[in-house]
Amino acid sequence: MTRQRRILITFAVLYTVMMVYLLFFREPSVTNEPYWELVQAHFNPIPFRTVKLYLRLLENPARPWLVRLAHVNLLGNILLFIPLGLFPPLLHEKMRQYWKVLLLAFGIMVQVELLQMLLLVGTCDVDDLLLNVSGASIGYALFWLTHRKKTK
């Protein structure tokens, strides 16, 4: 194994550990409500509902902390998942087709969203899924742009 490959694997592992921590090691929602009512409260199946909410907060920046919240959620859900589209094709030659990376990112993110909801450490939000997969797509585009000649 080359030194460059070992470094890449190290970064991929560090990225994975960081993301598991960010996605799952938050304080769970604890209230007196029944568990399944909490689960339902942590579920948004309506596309672009959350995105529209955050965009409205950016249009009318009355409260600075809400603007920061909107930026963190919108940009964070995209930028933090760029490596998810970059590492697979860099590490595995069989993952150099966009549809494979897209399917992998989608599958991982569906599992993450469902686990967050069931563990009550986040919400299962279709908008997060869309933004995360968009980030992975940007990651794949970066791979493609830097490896075009090698992937043909």
Q: Sign of the CA dihedral 63, 69, 74, 75?
A: positive
Ramachandran area for residue 120 (φ above 0: left; ψ -120 to 50: alpha; else beta): left
The β-bridge partners of 125 are: 44
Q: Which residues contact 9 (CB under 8 A, 6 or more apart)?
A: 91
Structure tokens at 140: 């794949």
Q: Please write the tens of the pLDDT for every residue from 25-83.
A: 987 766 788 888 888 888 999 999 999 999 998 887 778 888 888 999 999 999 999 99
C-beta of residue 108 within 8 angstroms of C-beta of residue 114 = no
Does the pTM of the predicted model rise above 0.85?
Answer: yes
- Fill in the DSSP letter of residue 93: G
> Would you call 7 helix, strand, or coil by DSSP?
helix
Q: Please write the tens of the pLDDT for every residue from 21-32.
A: 999 998 776 678
Tokens 């929602």 sit at which residue? 29
Cα distance from N-terminal residue to C-terminal residue, the chain: 24
